[in-house]
Amino acid sequence: MPSEAVIARIAVPIMDTPPHPPAYANDAADDTNATTTPQSTDASRQCRICYGGQEDVPTVGRLISPCRCRGTMKYVHLELRHTLFNVDVVVEVRDARIPFSSANLRLDEALLGLDRLVVFNKSDLASKNLQQNLQNTVLRHSGSSALFTNASKYRGVSQILNYAVEKANRDPSLYPYLSMMVVGLPNVGKSSLINALRYIGLKRDNRVAAVAPHAGVTRAIQNKVKIYEDPAIYLVDTPGVIDPHVIDPIQGLKIALTGGTKDSATIMLDVADYLLFRLNQSKPNQTKYVSLLNLPAPIDDIHLVLGAVAKSYNCRADTSPRGLAIPIEQVTEWDLDRAALKFVTLFRKGALGSMTLDDCTDAGMRRWFEEKADKIVNAKPLGAQNGGENDRERRHKRKRTKKTLSDEKPVAVDTFVNY
């Protein structure tokens, strides 16, 4: 009789027996050679979320469904577009683990024609051998310079300051002060980057932007923060900008896995299953989780892995004083959700190794830029709406126009439609 453990009211076998037939569509059903043993390391094993049947699609859609915050995101987009008129340099922050999935096509539409610097933050958690090729590809296809940083350790942050100082010193009369804006998806490290820039530029370690390891900390467009004295450079933080429509499931899984959505609104079991699928595709990452969880070999069944996680990190279902008093060897119920969250958290902290989730091969990057170009080819560049004027000249012109209009008598509202 195989031993069993109850994980959040789901009975699953423990390590020494093969699991129940997995719910991966198009796997064992279509492949007679497919194996269902927990020790299977077949790289062709398909994730049930990525390649499953239609019944999985609604579940995936809920991973990143913006139905709760669609109005807020629309307001943020409008505020952002208005603020961009007064910005000299836009710093777009992305997660280095998902350099393309953490990009935002609606944001790209707004930033066309503006001076943009792409910053891939959390570079210590991404694959190091892809950085140079990624930098060159971004510069070649978008014309924007790309940098890799680790804001929490202040690594690479000085390159952003050097870029801004060089731009300001190029024409001091045009830039008596330089205004920069930090934009990007939630939890890519925007506020951490602002604090790091202020620390390096002014040698002040007091935090001016709230920081937390989850999405949704910055709620509104913040005031300008001074990050450099001479020349004067100011910087603005924004809330995380995410598309107000459901994006494709694979991209949603990657964003959820890296913490771009709130864990409370995410089906963490599906995210953990996708993580296991990706870990098993990489030999270095395979050995990481196997050794960390004291497993005999790589496993492709998420329930068995979460059972090992729950046992290693004491994710017991009964957290009452009586339940906590039971020795861990005698525990028979494990909390599946807590174990899944712990498994994902280990990845986010780098305990399971560094990994780039997006396809950063030459073919993969070329395909992404081609698809991106098709989607925004008809977009009107924000910088091109101003007759080719630079930012500073445009602001002076707007101020003069406002002063002239304020001296005139009130006129019909529709007179200002084109203003």
CA distances from 13 to 152, 238, 286 (A): 41, 47, 22
Domain that holds residue 11: 4-64+248-348
Give domain status of residue 391, yes or no: no
The enclosing domain of 53 has a CATH number of 1.10.1580.10
Is residue 104 domain-shared with residue 60, that is, in the same domain?
no
Which amino acid makes up residue 275?
A: L
Query: Which amino acid, residue 16?
Result: D
Instruction: For Cα atoms 70, 71, 77, give the angle at the middle one, nearest 5 degrees.
Output: 90
Terminal Cα-to-Cα distance of the chain (whole angstroms): 78
Query: From CA 178, how far away is CA 193, in angstroms rounded?
Result: 17
In this structure, is residue 396 part of a structural domain? no
* Calculated CA dihedral for residues 379, 93, 286, 273, nearest 10 degrees: -60
Residues 196 and 263 both lie in one domain = no
**Token duo for residue 327:** 């020795």
Cα-based distances in Å from 134 to 140, 201, 216, 285, 367 = 10, 27, 28, 22, 14
Residues 42 and 88 in one domain: no
Residue of 9, 17, 27, 5 lying closest to 273 (CA atoms): 27
Residue 292 covered by a domain: yes
The total number of structural domains that make up the chain: 2
Same domain for 231 and 175?
Answer: yes
Query: Tens place of pLDDT for every residue, the chain, 419 residues?
Result: 434 443 333 333 333 333 333 333 333 333 333 333 334 434 334 444 444 433 343 343 344 444 444 555 565 666 677 777 778 999 999 999 999 988 877 777 777 778 899 999 999 999 999 899 999 999 988 888 999 999 989 999 999 999 999 999 998 888 888 989 888 888 898 888 988 998 898 876 555 444 445 444 444 445 678 889 889 998 887 765 665 445 678 888 999 999 988 888 889 999 999 999 999 998 888 899 999 999 999 999 999 999 999 999 988 887 777 778 788 777 778 888 999 999 999 999 999 999 999 999 888 898 888 877 666 545 444 444 444 454 555 665 665 555 554 554 443 333 333 32
Task: Report the C-alpha gap between 301 and 22 in whole angstroms.
Answer: 7
- 157 and 294 in a single domain? The answer is no
d(CA 155, CA 240): 22
Among 329, 348, 367, give the residue marking a domain's end: 348
Q: Residue 126's pLDDT is what? A: 94
What is the helix (H) or strand (E) element at residue 223, kind and residue range?
none
Question: What is the C-alpha to C-alpha distance for residues 90 and 98, in angstroms, rounded to an integer?
Answer: 20
Question: Is 387 part of a structural domain of the chain?
Answer: no
List Cα–Cα distances, 45 to 57, 281, 284, 327, in angstroms: 19, 9, 18, 36
| CATH number of the domain residue 217 falls in | 3.40.50.300
Task: Give the strand order in the sheet containing 177-184.
Answer: 145-148, 116-121, 89-95, 177-184, 232-236, 225-228
Structure pTM? 0.71
Distance CA 249, CA 36 (A): 25
- 160-163: Cβ within 8 A, 24+ apart: 160/91, 160/117, 160/119, 160/193, 160/197, 161/197, 161/200, 161/201, 161/227, 161/228, 161/233, 163/89, 163/117
Count other C-beta atoms under 10 Å from residue 274's C-beta: 26
Residues 220 and 114 in one domain: yes
Are residue 186 and residue 114 in the same domain, yes or no? yes
Q: Which region, left, alpha or beta, applies to residue 215 given φ > 0 means left and ψ of -120 to 50 means alpha?
A: beta
